[in-house]
Structure 1
Amino acid sequence: MRARALLTLFALLSLLALAALPAVAEEIDCVTTEWKLLGANHKVCVNAFDDPEVPCVTCYMSQARTGGISGAVGLAEDPSEFSLDCRQTCAVVLPEKFPKKKKVFSEGTSVLFKDTQVTRFFDEKRKALLYLAVSRKIVSGSPKNSISTVVIR
């Protein structure tokens, strides 16, 4: 009984942590990659999110989504397969004190223990913002990643 209460508490804390994140993705559209007889199809979806601290920078991320019955009810673990591209959409002006590293986006890819995170790095020497997407899993992470740069003009 105690283990179940701890699991419930962990789930609630995880949901609260996800709710506190600054960037929220907007789904653009999806393409079916494999048809499933029962449940949702496997697909690749494209989402967009704006950097919450840098107006005029939008990132687009494509990510594989698991279908089937477990995918349809939200219990499937999505594979660590994604691509990231970030673009400057208007003039970018950075504040004088700007963090060198900051998590700007996170999205769960399983019920509890796996997510895709995007971290922004500032390369002051080259006047560039670098966005790194990685798949994170509490027990065993994945080295799969994608990077995109935005040169400040």
Structure 2
Amino acid sequence: MKTLVSLLLFALALPAHAEEIGEVSTTFHLLSPNDKVVVEAFDDPSVTGVACYVSRAKTGGYKGAAGLAKDPSRFSVACRQVGPISFVKPLPKQEEVFKESASFVFKHVRVVRMVDSKRNTLTYVTYSDKLIDGSPDNAVTAVPVSGQRIPLK
């Protein structure tokens, strides 16, 4: 039983996994996959009732098909209240809630939740990092929480 509880707590601490909502082609390639913009959704793992939508470019062509392409560091994020908000646990001031690979070699798209206590708002920023240097390209969105205070660690 103790092991089951430990595994459950560990699973709650992991960043969310996204589900693909859809995609649009941006560049046509005759014999290989097109370049596209993909929209994915994920639920905040620590805040019930908040979902985030991330759009990002995915490189097609032969390199994209083989998983060797370097996707551009251009994306956006929109997080919204999709149901009654409740908190699974007290939140840290800042926490990574989503991470997904964006290239074959050490590049990730990340979403970090920041708590704005003064305004009682959950703020989400998306950016990419890379082993040597990341990108300053980023996007931000915010979800106000009304009727209750955000519990902090």
Q: Which runs of 5 or more structure 1 residues have no equivalent in the other structure?
A: 1-19
Deviations along 1:77-115, one digit per CA (max 9) or x if unpaired, are: 100010100001122134683211100000111112111
Deviations along 1:59-78, one digit per CA (max 9) or x if unpaired, are: 00110000000101211110
Counterpart check, 1:89 vs 2:82 = yes
Q: How many matched pairs?
A: 134
Percent of residue pairs bearing the same amino acid type: 49
The runs of at least 4 consecutive aligned structure 1 residues that moved more than 4 Å come to none
Normalized against structure 1, the TM-score is what? 0.83
- 1:48 and 1:60 in contact (8 A); partners too: yes
Q: Distance in 1 between matches of 2:65 and 2:94?
A: 35
Counterpart check, 1:119 vs 2:112 = yes
- 2:125 and 2:141 in contact (8 A); partners too: yes
Q: Which runs of 5 or more structure 2 residues have no equivalent in the other structure?
A: 1-12, 147-153
Normalized against structure 2, the TM-score is what? 0.83
Counterpart selection for 2:22 from 12, 29, 46:
29
- 2:93 and 2:115 in contact (8 A); partners too: yes
Specify the alignment match of 1:4 in structure 2: none
Residue 34 of structure 1 aligns with an amino acid whose one-letter code is T
Instruction: Output the aligned Cα RMSD.
Output: 1.5
Counterpart selection for 1:64 from 49, 57, 68:
57
Q: Distance in 1 between matches of 2:34 and 2:14?
A: 29
Counterpart selection for 1:77 from 51, 57, 70:
70
Q: Distance in 2 between matches of 1:53 and 1:96?
A: 6
SS in 1 for 2:86: coil
- 2:71 and 2:103 in contact (8 A); partners too: yes
SS in 2 for 1:90: strand
Specify the alignment match of 1:38 in structure 2: 31
